[in-house]
Amino acid sequence: MDKYSYISNAELGSIDELYQSYLKEEESVDVSWQKFFEGFEFARKDFESNGKIPQAVSKEFKVVNLINQYRSRGHLFTKTNPVRERRKYSPTLAIENYGLEQSDLDTVFQAASEILQKPCTLREIINMLEKTYCQSIGVEYMYIRSPDRLAWIRQRLDKNFNTPKFSDKLRRYIFTKLNHAVVFENFLHTKYVGQKRFSLEGAESLIPAIGSAIESGANLGIEQYVIGMAHRGRLNVLANILNKTYEEIFAEFENKEYGDALFNGDVKYHQGYSSNIVTDSGKHVHLSLAPNPSHLEAVDPVVLGVAKAKLDRDHNNDYNKVAPILIHGDASISGQGIVYELIQMAQVEAYGTGGTIHIVVNNQIGFTTNYYDGRSSTYCTDVAKVTLSPVFHVNGDDVEAVVYATRMAVEFRQAFHKDVFIDLLCYRKYGHNEGDEPRFTQPLLYKAISKHPNPREIYVKKLMKEGIVGEELANEMEVRFKRLLESRLSDAKEEKEAKVTSFMEGKWRGMRESLADDFLKSPETGVPKANLLLVAKALYTVPKGKKFFRKMEKVFGDREKMVLKTDKLDWGMCELLAYGSLILEDYTVRFTGQDVERGTFSHRHAVVKLEDSEEEYVALNNIKEGQQAKLNIYNSILSEYAVLGFEFGYAMASPRVLTIWEAQFGDFANGAQIIIDQFIAASEDKWKRMTGLVMLLPHGYEGMGAEHSSARIERFLNLCAEDNMQVVNCTTPANFFHVMRRQLHRKIRKPLIVFTPKSLLRHPDCVSSVGELASGCFQELIDDETVKADKVRKVVFCSGKIYYELMERRKEEKKDDIAIVRLEQMYPFPEVKFDKVIAKYSNAKEHMWVQEEPENMGAWGFVLRTYRKVNFTLSARTLSSAPASGSHERFKRRQAKVIDGAMK
C-alpha cells in the first residue's frame, strides 16, 4: 500500500497535500483518490468558468470533515459505561452539525474511499464510523504527531471496524479466565464475610485482559512482565494470573502466623509474588508482581526500575523482551502527582523501558468521591496526552472488547516502544472495602449496581446465543472450580503457619540476610595501589584529539597534581576512585539525580563536554582498553519522588550493581518521603525485599538558609530499627571511599544513607592519601589520636563537618584536655567501639554531644535514647521549627555559640 493510503490528518491541509502530489504525479495517490481529484479538477475548472463551487464538491469536504470528527471526538459518544449514562457533549456527531442533511444519506461520496477503499453512500459511511468509533471501544489518538503511529492505529481500527472477531478457542480461553475471576471473588465473599480483600467484583474482565496481554505479548517476543498495582483486585491477579496457590491465599485469610519471628509481614493485598508460566503457545514467561504499600501509585516507579534493571542485566536493553504493566485506579491516576512525574520519565534515556502498558480499573469513584469531584479533566487518563500516548476507553462488561483493546495495546507497545493506556470502565460492587457502606454517598449508583449482572453472566448469555458454550457446560465449569476452591480451603486450614516467599533466588543467589556480627566491624575494602593509579590516570589524562573547556583542563591538571605530587586527594577525587575501583572489579555503577554528572557543587565532573561539539566524555568508562564495567550516570528530571522510587526498584533487582541516587540538596529528599518511609526503610520487614540503594544527601550548616542546610538526619534516624539500613556522615574522603566500596563487598544488602558535605569538598584539611585508600576499611567511629587520654576532662562527640570547626577552635585556644571523637556511622550504632572510647577516657568528667542542628533535630535525640551508659550534655542550636536561619550573620553567631559551648 502506498504512503498516502492513510493520511496523517483528515483535515484540509492533508487533503491539499494529497492533491499537490496528485498534480505532480497521478499515480502517487491511491486509485480512489485519483477518482476523487478527477472530480475536483472538473469542479475547479467549472468554478473558474462559472465562479461557483459545485455543491457535490462542497459536500465531499463536509463528509471528510465528518469522518475527521468521528476520529477525533467519537470517543465522547461511545457505549462504554456499564452502569451510568454518559455525560452529554456538544456538538454531537449528527450530520446536520457538519452541513449535511438527511437527504444526503443515500448519496455516494468519493470521501468514503479513504476509509472503505471505495466510494459509498453517506449512510454506509456513518454505519462504519459508528461501529468503529462509538461502540464498546472509544479511542483517543488524533493528537499523536507521528504519521507512522497514526497510520498504524487507524489501520487497526478500520480492520473489522474495531470489532473483535475471535476464534472459538480464544473465546473459550476468555470465558475460562472470566469464570475463574468471578467465582473466586464470590467464593471469598461467602467464606470470609466482612474481611477486607478489596474485591475485583465489577471489574473481573481485568483478568482475561491481563491473561491475553501476556499470551499475545509472549508471541511478540516478551519474556518478562513486571506488574504493579494497588490493592483492588490484587488477590485475584495473584491467584489467576501469577498462579499463587489458592491455599497460600486462603491461609492468609485464616490469619496464620508467619514462621519467621523476625518478619513482621504485611496485609495479604500488599504482597508481591513472582512465577514462571508457560503460555498456550508454549512460550516461557516470567511474571513479577511488585509488593506495594497503601500509598496509591507509589509502586509505579519501582516497577519501572525493576523492568529497567532486567533490561540492562538480562537483555542488553532490548525493549522487546521486558514489558511493564501498571494497573491504576481512576481516582489515583488523575490525582496522584507521581503519575505525571513517571510519564515525563518514559522517554528519557536514563529511565526508558520501551513503553508501559497502563490499565486503569475505572470504578468511576474514589473511596466515596464521585469522579466529577475527583478531577478537572474529561478523562482520568488525560495524563496520557503528555507523551501523546493512545488511550482505549472500553466497556468492562464487554469482555471481548476489553481483550481486543488490550491485545491492540500490547501490539502498539511492541511496535513503537511507547506508553499506551486502557481505560477499563467498570464499577465497584461494594464500598471501598467489604465493610464499607457505599449507599451513604452514592445511593442511586449502588441501586443500579445491585441489579446489574456480573461480566460472567453477560458473557455466558452471549456465548450461549452464539452456540460457543452451552448452559450445562457453563454451570459445570462454575461448580468444578468451586469444588477446587473448597479443596484448597480445606488444605489451608491444615497449614500451621503462613508462608513467606523467599527472594534469595535468581540474581540474589549468594546473598543472605544480615546477622548482628555483620555490623561489629566493616570488611577490608582497600584497593591495590596499582589499580588506584590506573583509575587515577584515566581521571587526569586528557584524551588525544579532544579539546575541553579551559577550566575543565585545569580540573584534569588538579587531579594529576593530587595523585602524583601532593598525595592529598579531595572528596571528589576519592569518590571517583571508589567508583573506578569497583568498575575494575567488574561492578557496574548506576548513578542518577539532579545535576549529578557535574555535581551540584561542581566537584564531580564524571561527565565532561567537549568545548566545540558538546560531545560527552566519561573518563571512568575509559580506564582500560577492551571490556570493562560501566559508570552509567545520568542527570535526572526535576523529580525526587518518582526518580528515587525508580532507583529503589532498580537496586532491588540488581544486588551486584552500585545504585546511587543523589539529592541536589539533602532536604530535597522530603519530596520522596513516601518512598523512604514505605520502601527504603520498611521493605525488608514488610515484604522480605532487600536493596542496596545508596542515597547521597548534601548536608551542613554554612549560612545558606532553612532549605539548603539540613538533610533532616533526625527523620532517617527515627526510621532506623532492626538493622534495616545504614546511616553515615563521613568526615574524610577516605572513609567515604571505603563505605561506598563496602556496599558491594558484603554478602548482605542494606540501604545506605550518606550525609555528604558541601564546604568540605574544598576544605584544605579534608583530604586523604592514596595509602589510606590502598588499605583499611570503613571506620564507624574515629577516635582522637592527638590528645593524651589521661589528661582528657571532656569528651566531645560529633558527626560531620562541625568536626573541623571544633578542631580549629581547639587549636586556637590550645586546649589539650578535650577529646573530639567522630561518630561516622550513626546506625547501626557502633556500641562496642563507643564503649571502648568511653573506657579509654576514664578520667573525663563530661561527655558532650555537639551538633549544628537545633536540639530537636539532628542526631541528638537518637544518641540520647540509643546510648544510655553515660549522661550526655549538649551543645546545639536551641529548639526551632525551621532548620536554620536565613540571615548569614545570625548563622555565624549561632554557629559560634555552639562551638563555644563545646570548648567550655
How does pLDDT run across 406-431, given as a tens digit for each residue? 999 999 999 999 999 999 999 998 88
Among the listed residues 626, 634, 490, 611, the one whose alpha carbon sits nearest the alpha carbon of residue 548:
611
Residue 679 backbone dihedrals phi, psi, to 5 degrees: -110, -60
Distance CA 829, CA 25 (A): 81
Burial level of 227, CB count in 10 A (0-12/13-18/19+)?
buried
Cis-peptide, bond into residue 91, ω within 30° of zero: yes
pLDDT over threshold 50, residue 553: yes
608: part of which helix (H) or strand (E)? strand 608-609
pLDDT over threshold 80, residue 22: no
CB neighbour list of residue 345: distance below 8 Å, 6 or more residues apart: 301, 304, 351, 637, 639, 642, 643, 646
User: Chain centroid to CA 666: how far?
Assistant: 21
- For residue 491, what are the CA distances in angstroms to 499, 500, 888? 13, 17, 69
Distance CA 712, CA 716 (A): 7
For residue 420, the model assigns a pLDDT of 98
User: Chain centroid to CA 307: how far?
Assistant: 9
- For residue 154, what are the CA distances in angstroms to 75, 144, 390, 484, 718? 14, 12, 11, 44, 55
Residue 658 backbone dihedrals phi, psi, to 5 degrees: -80, 105
Q: What is the pLDDT of residues 874-901, one digit of tens each?
A: 999 999 999 999 999 999 999 999 999 9
Beta strands in 290-383 (DSSP E): 322-329, 357-362, 365-366, 369-370
Q: Per residue in 771-802, is it b (16+ CB within 10 Å) or e — as a string? A: ebbbebbbbbbbbbeebebeebebbbbbbbbb
Place of cell 471473588: 185
Mean pLDDT across the stretch 671-675? Answer: 96
Distance CA 684, CA 750 (A): 9
Distance CA 581, CA 602 (A): 22
DSSP state of 29: S
Q: Residue by residue, what is the 3-state secondary structure of 763-782?
A: CCCCCECHHHHHCCECCCEE
- Find out whether 583 and 656 touch, Cβ atoms under 8 Å: no
Q: Residue by residue, what is the 3-state secondary structure of 275-289?
A: EEEECCCCCEEEEEE
Q: Report the DSSP pairing between strands 794-798 and 818-823.
A: parallel
For residue 383, the model assigns a pLDDT of 97
Q: For 866, left (φ over 0), alpha (ψ -120 to 50), or beta? A: alpha
Burial level of 899, CB count in 10 A (0-12/13-18/19+)?
middle
Q: What does the block give as the cell for 141?
A: 489518538
Q: What does the block give as the cell for 880?
A: 526551632
- Find out whether 762 and 868 touch, Cβ atoms under 8 Å: no
Burial level of 156, CB count in 10 A (0-12/13-18/19+)?
middle
pTM score of the predicted model: 0.92
Cβ neighbours around 380 below 10 Å, total = 27
- Find out whether 486 and 246 touch, Cβ atoms under 8 Å: no
For residue 4, the model assigns a pLDDT of 33
pLDDT over threshold 60, residue 155: yes
For residue 42, the model assigns a pLDDT of 58
Among the listed residues 418, 494, 385, the one whose alpha carbon sits nearest the alpha carbon of residue 152:
418
For residue 439, the model assigns a pLDDT of 85
Length of the chain: 904
Distance CA 293, CA 680 (A): 12
DSSP state of 529: H
Q: Per residue in 3-13, is it b (16+ CB within 10 Å) or e — as a string? A: ebebbbbbeee
* Lowest-confidence region among 59-68, 344-353, 499-508, 659-668: 499-508
Q: What does the block give as the cell for 566?
A: 601532593
Place of cell 581547639: 810
pLDDT over threshold 60, residue 153: yes
Distance CA 137, CA 126 (A): 16
Using pLDDT thresholds of 50, 70 and 90, give the confidence band for residue 262: low
Q: What does the block give as the cell for 17?
A: 497535500
Using pLDDT thresholds of 50, 70 and 90, give the confidence band for residue 53: low
Distance CA 409, CA 389 (A): 10
More confident residue, 443 or 660: 660
Mean pLDDT across the stretch 356-364? Answer: 96
* Mean pLDDT across the chain: 91
For residue 382, the model assigns a pLDDT of 97
Mean pLDDT across the stretch 739-764? Answer: 97
Q: Per residue in 708-747, is it b (16+ CB within 10 Å) or e — as a string? A: bbbbbbbbbbebbeebbbbbbbbbbbbbbbbbbbbbbbbe
The sign of the torsion formed by the CA atoms of 832, 834, 837, 843 equals negative
SS3 call for 186: helix
pLDDT over threshold 80, residue 653: yes
Distance CA 267, CA 255 (A): 10
CA atoms within 13 A on the CB side of 350: 26
Q: What is the pLDDT of residues 136-151, one digit of tens each?
A: 999 999 999 999 999 9
SS3 call for 54: coil
Using pLDDT thresholds of 50, 70 and 90, give the confidence band for residue 9: very low
For residue 33, the model assigns a pLDDT of 63
Cβ neighbours around 541 below 10 Å, total = 13
- For residue 800, what are the CA distances in angstroms to 713, 731, 757, 763, 787? 11, 5, 8, 13, 20
pLDDT over threshold 60, residue 808: yes
For residue 8, the model assigns a pLDDT of 35
Q: Identify how many contiguous H helices and E strands the chain contains and give both numbers.
A: 31, 26
More confident residue, 28 or 863: 863
Burial level of 565, CB count in 10 A (0-12/13-18/19+)?
exposed
What percent of the chain clears pLDDT 70, i.e. is strictly above it? 93
- Find out whether 303 and 351 touch, Cβ atoms under 8 Å: no
pLDDT over threshold 60, residue 13: no
Q: What is the pLDDT of residues 836-875, one digit of tens each?
A: 999 999 999 999 999 999 999 999 999 999 999 999 999 9
Mean pLDDT across the stretch 160-175? Answer: 94
Among the listed residues 333, 83, 359, 321, the one whose alpha carbon sits nearest the alpha carbon of residue 208:
359
Residue 352 backbone dihedrals phi, psi, to 5 degrees: -65, 135
Q: Per residue in 587-615, is it b (16+ CB within 10 Å) or e — as a string? A: bbbbbbbbebbbbbbebbbbbbbbeeeee
For residue 136, the model assigns a pLDDT of 97
Place of cell 493485598: 269
For residue 6, the model assigns a pLDDT of 34
Q: What is the pLDDT of residues 276-287, one digit of tens each?
A: 999 999 999 999
Q: What is the pLDDT of residues 584-613, one digit of tens each?
A: 999 999 999 999 999 999 999 999 999 888
Mean pLDDT across the stretch 182-196? Answer: 88
What percent of the chain clears pLDDT 90, i.e. is strictly above it? 78
Q: What is the pLDDT of residues 378-392, one digit of tens each?
A: 999 999 999 999 999
Q: Which amino acid is residue 285, in one-letter code?
A: V
pLDDT over threshold 50, residue 73: yes
- Find out whether 286 and 276 touch, Cβ atoms under 8 Å: yes
For residue 774, the model assigns a pLDDT of 98
For residue 11, the model assigns a pLDDT of 47
